[in-house]
Amino acid sequence: MRSLNIGIIGVGVVGSAVVKILEQNKALISARAGAEFCLKKGVVRDIAKAKKRLGDYVIPLSTDINDVLEDESIDVVLELMGGVHDAYEVAKKTLQKGKALITANKAMLAYHRFELEQIAGDIPIGFEASVGGGIPIIRTLKDGLGSNHILALNAILNGTSNYILTQMFEHNKSFANALKEAQDLGYAEADPTLDINGYDAGAKLLILASLAYGINAVPEDILIEGIEGITTDDMEFAKEFGYVIKLLGIAKRQDDTLELRVHPTLINRDCMIGKVSGVMNGISVLGDCVGESMYYGAGAGGEATASSVISDLIEIARDTHSSMLGFSESIQTSLSLKAPKDILSKYYIRLYTQDKPGVLSQIAQILGDNHISIKAFLQKEHQDKGVAKLLFSTHTSKESDINNALAAFTSLSSVLSEPYKIRIQD
Amino acid sequence: MRSLNIGIIGVGVVGSAVVKILEQNKALISARAGAEFCLKKGVVRDIAKAKKRLGDYVIPLSTDINDVLEDESIDVVLELMGGVHDAYEVAKKTLQKGKALITANKAMLAYHRFELEQIAGDIPIGFEASVGGGIPIIRTLKDGLGSNHILALNAILNGTSNYILTQMFEHNKSFANALKEAQDLGYAEADPTLDINGYDAGAKLLILASLAYGINAVPEDILIEGIEGITTDDMEFAKEFGYVIKLLGIAKRQDDTLELRVHPTLINRDCMIGKVSGVMNGISVLGDCVGESMYYGAGAGGEATASSVISDLIEIARDTHSSMLGFSESIQTSLSLKAPKDILSKYYIRLYTQDKPGVLSQIAQILGDNHISIKAFLQKEHQDKGVAKLLFSTHTSKESDINNALAAFTSLSSVLSEPYKIRIQD
């Protein structure tokens, strides 16, 4: 049986799970791949720490990255080190040395996937682990749904933020308490910024969009908002009107215009993606032939992510890879990104105002002036005396009109807090 | 650009959708495949009928199957004719002529998939459309989850029966009325036998099991029960205790024993697979690395099924196929099928008895004698005077014990109807 030599750069949570599973499920994986895998070298910063993490599982360790990159016997490099710049350099060198590349690094791919595809030529690049952890969503878009024009993606791509939102919704917790709990349980990093502010989900959405549309966009090109501003008041409104709030990665194509955005979103509680709770991920794909399909599973965790890394190893051993991003020929048409200000959506708006006559009429006047009409309204007493809590949703409006209205609210002396909006997806 | 010539045998609902989508999405599909597809010949029984179905879409038609099989310029044959024996002959001849084969025929594959893989050798066989319609579940098990030992599958694989059960559950309809409605809406055939009696789902489960476990089993080897016996009483019990009733295809591995069975099942209303309603399909896969993942989408319909057929065409054009059932080497271990009588499960039981003192004690006595203990009990008045309706669930019991108890109930003069059982899956 053929044997492939593997080098791993970064033997952390995912890397050590790869080592473990390759050993534990050896017979099965060889039977599927038609090859054996030999763990040649793992590169780490701290050998003692890595040994502790590996426990009984073994891979020769080194602190010198060239022990992998310059080793001509190594066929496949697993880039599991994280970060953008250095990881890109490693990926480039790997390909330039003629070695196959597997990476789980969404932040790096968000910027460099098209360059890497270019550099690779016929050399395989696997990146199933970069989006949706153990869910084989990369293959699904490249291969399984290949005959479909993708009309829309609606995806929960970050388990940490989904856990926080689920706790807030189901157990009435504040954002701060839910985040603290996620950290205590190990679902959130000590610095959870990229999970919370939407950038992790944004990187993943961009990778999916390149598979679905062939579009080369980077995080700076698209609207990305996080979940930091969400309060229990917003959850209360969601419950009252049959919604849940999810951090959604959204792609929406109409003719030659594509919307790509990541933000908290009110969605119908009964749609399949609305049922994805806790740390789980889910990707709903709307194709022109297949209709809606949905892919659900663990979006993070060592073993789930390693499951995807090894699926790429099997594909490389089978020699059944196609071009990295799934297009043999470029389909670069006139597809252009829609500017955020032109988004059409329904909106939910939260306002705290003085509780006195005439305020509502001012608010209503501003909405009317900006062509915005109200769909549902919930006014509840605020815990502070003299303060009214106005929660309402609008019919479909233009983002720029909404922003103008919110700016006008802010300038009213009767409005006591920065107005907050959440987009609604039907 | 390379061009592949296609012959279609059977230009019905799926075949004509393939013709339509290949034309409508031509640029996209060519860009993904790196090839063009030329529709060389479609074989049908009735040319006038096929022309009517095709409308503006064109494929040269013939009534002679040899116009495809003997045409040396045809590279790929789409077997979309249905049936078992004749379809198998066509599939064999296709491969013997060195042509690639794509089939959506689950009934044929339920019996002949291993022989076809043998005959094919290096010739590609695509069968993504045979299970789950547009859901790429074949690829997912062959490729995406390849590093996992599959611990369990829980799958809704038949849209017709799922529609009927959903209508019964949500709208309190009788089985007969829900079936009638499914027929009126075109979701059920004039003869819905194979949808209703579980055999369609059984064929699909067997295909999935061969991908997950490499096991070669046929419908006669496994337990298959349909939904014909379910009544609104059963739905009432389900609602009362937080369940839904689904026709589930179940695979469950424990060490070297594999359970494969299809039957109506009470499952928790809140699990992901419990949320798959109407004509939709869903497949929950439990892998040892990835944990639970779930795949959801349209399980039938011309365009959704054609979406999968064309994904196989793209794979063939890319020349990225692996062995049909996903194993390069046989993994035939000592894996053996569990006999139905040895199944361990919780059960729900429905009994109509005389409404008089002493009956419940007889029932309880029989349960105790067969080592069965009750978990939940619901007794409601029957519309007929003097009749008691007893609905109860058991703790985990052995199938043979349950069957003995039901036989003993039947012999009681106080039991007025054939006892009915539904297995419960936690």
pLDDT exceeds 70 at position A332: no
Which residue positions of B form the known binding site? 9-16, 106, 189
What CATH number has the domain spanning B139-298? Answer: 3.30.360.10
pLDDT exceeds 90 at position A158: yes
Does B145 contact A311 at a Cβ distance shorter than 8 Å?
yes
Reported confidence tier of residue A329, pLDDT bands at 50, 70, 90: confident
Boundaries of every domain in chain A: 1-133+301-316, 139-298, 339-422
Inter-residue contact A16 to A58 (CB < 8 Å): no
Q: Name which of A58, A4, A7, A76 is nearest A34 in CA terms.
A: A4
- Tokens (6 digits) for B131: 């299970």
**Whole-number pLDDT of residue B161:** 97
Nearest to B291 among A28, A292, A298 (CB): A298
Cross-strand partners of A354: A387
pTM of the model: 0.97
A68-75 mean pLDDT: 98
Residue with token string 């297995």: B423
What ipTM was predicted for this assembly? 0.96
For an interface test with B, which of A289, A294, A296 has the most B Cβ atoms less than 10 Å from its Cβ?
Answer: A289
Q: Cα–Cα distance between B369 and B364 in angstroms, integer? A: 9
SS3 B167: helix
Does B290 contact A296 at a Cβ distance shorter than 8 Å?
no
Segment holding B93, helix H or strand E: helix B85-96
Q: Cα–Cα distance between A183 and A206 in angstroms, integer? A: 27
User: What are the chain B neighbours of A304 within 8 Å (beta carbons)?
Assistant: 289-291
Q: Which residues of A are the active-site residues?
A: 204
- Tokens (6 digits) for B127: 């069968």
What CATH number has the domain spanning A1-133+301-316? Answer: 3.40.50.720
Q: Cα–Cα distance between B264 and B249 in angstroms, integer? A: 9
Which residue positions of B form the known binding site for NADP(+)? 9-16
C-beta neighbour count of B222 within 10 angstroms: 22
Give B105-116 pLDDT, tens digit per residue. 999 999 999 999
Does B304 contact A315 at a Cβ distance shorter than 8 Å?
no
Query: Regarding beta strands A76-79 and A61-62, do their DSSP bridges make them parallel or antiparallel, or are they unpaired?
Result: unpaired
Each of the 426 residues of chain B gets a pLDDT tens digit; together they read 899 999 999 999 999 999 999 999 999 999 999 999 999 999 999 999 999 999 999 999 999 999 999 999 999 999 999 999 999 999 999 999 999 999 999 999 999 999 999 999 999 999 999 999 999 999 999 999 999 999 999 999 999 999 999 999 999 999 999 999 999 998 887 889 999 999 999 999 999 999 999 999 999 999 999 999 999 999 999 999 999 999 999 999 999 999 999 999 999 999 999 999 999 999 999 999 999 999 999 999 999 999 999 999 999 999 999 999 999 877 766 799 999 999 999 999 999 999 999 999 999 999 999 999 999 999 887 788 889 999 999 999 999 999 999 999 999 999 999 999 999 998
Nearest to B328 among A34, A294, A306 (CB): A34
% of chain A exceeding 70 in pLDDT: 100
Q: Cα–Cα distance between A296 and B217 in angstroms, integer? A: 29
CATH topology for the B339-422 domain:
Alpha-Beta Plaits (3.30.70)
**Whole-number pLDDT of residue B333:** 66
The full 3-state SS of chain A, as one line of letters, equals CEEEEEEEECCCHHHHHHHHHHHHCHHHHHHHHCEEEEEEEEECCCHHHHHHHHCCCCCCEECCCHHHHCCCCCCEEEECCCCCHHHHHHHHHHHHCCCEEEECCHHHHHHHHHHHHHHHCCCCEECHHHCCCCCCHHHHHHHHCCCCCEEEEEEECCHHHHHHHHHHHHHCCCHHHHHHHHHHCCCCCCCCHHHHCCHHHHHHHHHHHHHHHCCCCCHHHCEECCCCCCCHHHHHHHHHCCEEEEEEEEEEEECCEEEEEEEEEEEECCCHHHHCCCCEEEEEEEECCCEEEEEEEECCCHHHHHHHHHHHHHHHHHCCCCCCCCCCCCCCCCCEECCHHHCEEEEEEEEEEECCCCHHHHHHHHHHHCCCCEEEEEEEECCCCCEEEEEEEECCEEHHHHHHHHHHHHCCCCECCCCEEEEEEC
Q: Cα–Cα distance between B4 and B73 in angstroms, integer? A: 9
**Whole-number pLDDT of residue B383:** 81
Q: Region of B386 please: left (phi>0), alpha (psi -120 to 50) or beta.
A: left
Q: How far is B136 from chain A (nearest CA, A)?
A: 5
Does B143 contact A136 at a Cβ distance shorter than 8 Å?
yes
- Tokens (6 digits) for B32: 């993904």
Give A79-111 pLDDT, tens digit per residue. 999 999 999 999 999 999 999 999 999 999 999
Nearest to A296 among B288, B293, B321 (CB): B293
**Whole-number pLDDT of residue B381:** 78
**Residue A92, exposed/middle/buried by CB under 10 A (0-12, 13-18, 19+)?**
middle
Cross-strand partners of A41: A7
